[in-house]
Amino acid sequence: MVKIPGLDDLKKIGSDLMDSAKTVKLGGMVDKLKTGIESVSKKGSVDMSGIDDPLGKLIQDMNVALTELQAANTAQAAAIKKMQNQLVTLGKVAATYQKPMVTQNPEDDKKI
């Protein structure tokens, strides 16, 4: 079974990448990228941390499940694309092993 990274794992990976890029003196671009990522993550997430009632908790849990489902769908789409590329490659390889087809000339049938 494939383990799909959670949002926190992805954020950690992104921050690690940004930290390594800063050591290579790409600071300006990294800061712009980080600002862009933070603005997108703020828009995409819903803050429900102040909810104490059972209905609010259920809504919060559903929001988490939807986020996980979105990550799973993204991973699934990437896997589908990978398999499509592999099928194209397989078709090309199979074509090289296929024997050439011998076609009969219709005029040859008339001679018999």
**What was the pLDDT predicted at 13?**
72
Q: Are residues 93 and 55 in the same domain?
A: yes
Contacts of 94 (CB under 8 A, 6+ apart): none
Q: Are residues 54 and 21 in the same domain?
A: no
Predicted TM-score (pTM) of the model is 0.39
pLDDT for residue 89 is more than 70: yes
pLDDT for residue 5 is more than 60: yes
Q: Which domain holds residue 69?
A: 50-98
Q: Are residues 6 and 27 in the same domain?
A: yes
Q: How far apart, in whole angstroms, are the C-alpha atoms of residue 107 and residue 104?
A: 8
* Window from 55-59, 64-68, 76-80, 95-99 with minimum mean pLDDT: 95-99
Q: Are residues 55 and 29 in the same domain?
A: no
Domain-located, residue 105: no
53 compared with 1, residue with greater pLDDT = 53
